[in-house]
């Protein structure tokens, strides 16, 4: 065909009408479908129940910690960069975080515009260079964690209040002590000795009473004067509420979210369940514990008074995502039975603090 000669009309190719450049709205839908599934918007920290979790609580980083301890920070960072496309294995807080997200899903279905949900913050003193591997791991497991705080070797404790933290979980006992000293609910989390399946649809949280939900007033009396005086004291003060302990505020936040389900007629289907698991005996000292919760306008779904019996076997039946206690004896007993347990370093039962803390790794939270 010579230049300028009129062209003969051509038959359109099959499906050509679908290959045309879509209009703006169609193009947006097209590219949205190509991108990863959209995640919900993060709530404002002041409106949410903020759970700060350290990198070593969320993921297993034992090998990385060993490299830091034996070879130093430069080798540690180099190793992380070389392995940044390899996701970390889940750590002790992982099932707890997944359960929080399951509750959030239900809350968003019932209250699409509400920001009164769990907001998870990764709080770590890792260097920013390690952030890519953490992000890759979070995306690998499809976790909804949008807020990171990576402090490059400095303590992240000063940022907890800025994030309006309701609970801080870490593998670093010193950092947890610092948080408790700042009035922030915190606990050192430990991996169980064996894996036990936990609920995928209901968040289960178990609390000790004294020095966890309540103050250590009663434990001080036991330590100073023995059990007989303790029983007498509790009977005489049965109607006087105990002072609050470090995790009272977290139970309060859980109770607030529970009531959002209750108001929709879903008490029996509530995806949050709480437990009081205490060494107190019901007859001699249980009433004061329950009346204290009532005076605060709080409750637990179940209350187990063990009268000094081991807690591990009962926790094995409950299968909580996390159990909080102030005594390492009970934490160890829970671990042995497959429970993720967290130590709350508060009250008279604690050992004196070290004057010279051991060297900590950037991932050692």
6, pLDDT greater than 90: no
* Cα→Cα distances 352→144, 174, 220, 225, 346, Å: 38, 12, 15, 21, 11
What pLDDT is stored for residue 232 in this prediction?
Answer: 87
Give ∠ CA 201-202-203 in degrees, rounded to 5: 125
Asked about 216 being catalytic, the answer comes back as no
Cα distance between residue 342 and residue 351, in whole Å: 16
Q: Is the pLDDT of residue 264 over 90?
A: yes
How far is Cα 52 from Cα 118, in angstroms, rounded to an integer?
10
- Which residue in the block uniquely carries the two structure tokens 């950092």? 175
Q: Which of 233, 266, 248 is nearest to 324 (CA)?
A: 248
CA-to-CA distance for 231 and 221, rounded, in angstroms?
10
Contact 365, 172 (CB under 8 A): yes
The pLDDT score that the predictor gives to residue 38 is 58
Domain boundaries along the sequence of the chain: 45-189, 203-343
Catalytic residue among 119, 172, 208, 216: 208
Query: Residues 212, 346: contact at Cβ < 8 Å?
Result: yes
Q: What is the pLDDT of residues 23-53, one digit of tens each?
A: 444 444 443 444 345 567 788 888 899 999 9
Q: Is the pLDDT of residue 107 over 50?
A: yes
CATH of the domain spanning 203-343:
3.40.50.1000
Q: How, if at all, do strands 186-190 and 165-170 pair? A: parallel
Please report, for the chain, how many H helices and E strands are present, in that order: 15, 12
Tell which residue, 195, 190, 163, has the closest CA to residue 179: 163
Q: Per residue in 126-185, pLDDT tens?
A: 878 888 999 999 999 999 999 999 888 788 888 999 999 999 999 999 999 999 999 999
Distance CA(138)–CA(321), nearest Å, equals: 19
- Distance between CA 196 and CA 203 in Å, rounded? 15
* pLDDT band with cut points at 50, 70 and 90 for residue 234: confident
Q: Is there a shared CATH topology between the 45-189 domain and the 203-343 domain?
A: yes
DSSP, res 130 = G
Comparing 273 with 233, the larger pLDDT belongs to: 273
Kindly provide the b/e burial profile for residues 211-240, where b requires at least 16 CB atoms within 10 angstroms of the residue's own CB. bbbbbbbbbbbbeeeeeeebbebbeeeeee
CATH topology of domain 45-189: Rossmann fold (3.40.50)
Least confident of 93-97, 285-289, 357-361: 357-361
More confident residue, 22 or 206: 206
Q: Which residue has the higher pLDDT, 206 or 231?
A: 206
């Amino acid at each position: 065909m010579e230049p300028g000669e009129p062209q003969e009309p051509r038959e359109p190719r099959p499906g050509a009408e679908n290959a045309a450049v879509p209009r703006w709205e169609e193009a947006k839908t097209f590219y949205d479908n190509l991108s990863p599934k959209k995640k919900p918007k993060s709530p404002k920290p002041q409106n949410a129940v903020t759970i700060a979790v350290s990198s070593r609580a969320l993921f297993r980083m034992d090998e990385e910690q060993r490299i830091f301890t034996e070879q130093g920070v430069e080798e540690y960072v180099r190793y992380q960069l070389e392995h940044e496309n390899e996701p970390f294995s889940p750590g002790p807080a992982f099932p707890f975080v997944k359960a929080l997200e399951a509750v959030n899903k239900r809350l968003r279905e019932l209250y699409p515009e509400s920001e009164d949900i769990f907001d998870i913050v990764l709080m770590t003193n890792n260097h920013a260079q390690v952030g890519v591997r953490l992000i890759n791991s979070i995306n690998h497991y499809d976790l909804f964690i949008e807020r990171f705080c990576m402090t490059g070797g400095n303590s992240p404790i000063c940022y907890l209040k800025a994030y309006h933290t309701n609970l801080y979980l870490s593998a670093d006992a010193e950092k947890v002590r610092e948080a408790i000293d700042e009035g922030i609910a915190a606990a050192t989390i430990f991996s169980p000795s064996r894996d036990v399946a936990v609920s995928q649809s209901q968040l289960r949280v178990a609390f000790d009473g004294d020095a966890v939900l309540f103050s250590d007033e009663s434990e001080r009396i036991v330590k100073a004067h023995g059990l007989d005086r303790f029983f007498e004291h509790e009977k005489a003060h049965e109607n006087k509420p105990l002072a609050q302990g470090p995790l009272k505020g977290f139970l309060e936040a859980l109770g607030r979210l529970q009531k959002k389900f209750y108001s929709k007629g879903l008490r029996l289907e509530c995806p949050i369940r709480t437990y009081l698991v205490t060494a107190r005996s019901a007859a001699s000292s249980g009433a004061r514990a329950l009346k204290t919760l009532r005076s605060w306008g709080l409750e637990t779904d179940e209350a187990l008074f063990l009268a000094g019996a081991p807690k591990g076997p009962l926790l094995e039946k409950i299968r909580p995502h996390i159990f909080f206690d102030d005594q390492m004896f009970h934490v160890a007993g829970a671990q042995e039975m497959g429970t993720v347990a967290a130590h709350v370093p508060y009250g008279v039962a604690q050992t004196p603090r070290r004057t010279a803390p051991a060297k900590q790794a950037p991932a050692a939270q």
